Amino acid sequence: MSDLKVLIVCLGNICRSPMGEAVLRDVALKRGLSGIIVDSCGTAAYHAGEEPDDRTISTCRKHKIPIEHTARQLQTSDFTEFTHILAADQSNLRNLERVKPRNATAEVRLWGSYLDDKPISDPYYGGMNGFEQVYQQCLALSNAFLDRVAGN
Ligand code: 4NP
């Protein structure tokens, strides 16, 4: 299994999607899936070049999930580079659909559609408990996604 290339997408690429990237990679490695490539980006460029939010880093550290990412904005080539593009919420999904090129080959979906159709809510203006909730969702959604597409 080496042809899964997954891009997790949120708004700023400093809170939800870098955590989602880190958690999905960790869950895949723990399942023995070595060929999967995971990346993340934001639909907006405000935070491009930044490290993940301190609260994302500390939440990952608490759960012993390695995280290393530099924020970047979505680019058109992502739609042909990746096999799956997974949006954190419906607003991110609408933005993806709006800029999706005709020749897109990636499957573009709400990440939550693999489990419960729920969005990962934006934790940026809230407290640490919001980041813990994002982590728990990323973990459940990573398992649901890999159950469906990797078969193990
Ligand atoms: P993210 O969170 O989309 O999960 O990275 C946000 C980060 C920054 C902003 C909004 C959401 N912002 O407005 O700057």
Q: pLDDT digits over 109-120, tens only?
A: 999 999 999 999
Domains of the chain, first to last:
5-149 (3.40.50.2300)
Q: pLDDT digits over 43-95, tens only?
A: 999 999 999 999 999 999 999 999 999 999 999 999 999 999 999 999 999 99
| Catalytic-residue membership of 61 | no
Match 């020749």 to its residue by tokens.
103
Residue owning the nearest CA to atom 12 of ligand 1:
12
Quote the mean pLDDT of the chain.
Answer: 96
CA of 14 to the centre of ligand 1 (A): 6
Long-range Cβ contact pairs of 45-49 (< 8 A, separation 24 or more): 45/73, 46/12, 47/12, 47/13, 47/14, 47/71, 48/13, 48/72, 48/73
Cβ proximity of 89 and 121 under 8 Å: yes
pLDDT higher than 60, residue 2: no
Which pLDDT band holds residue 1 (cuts at 50, 70, 90)? very low
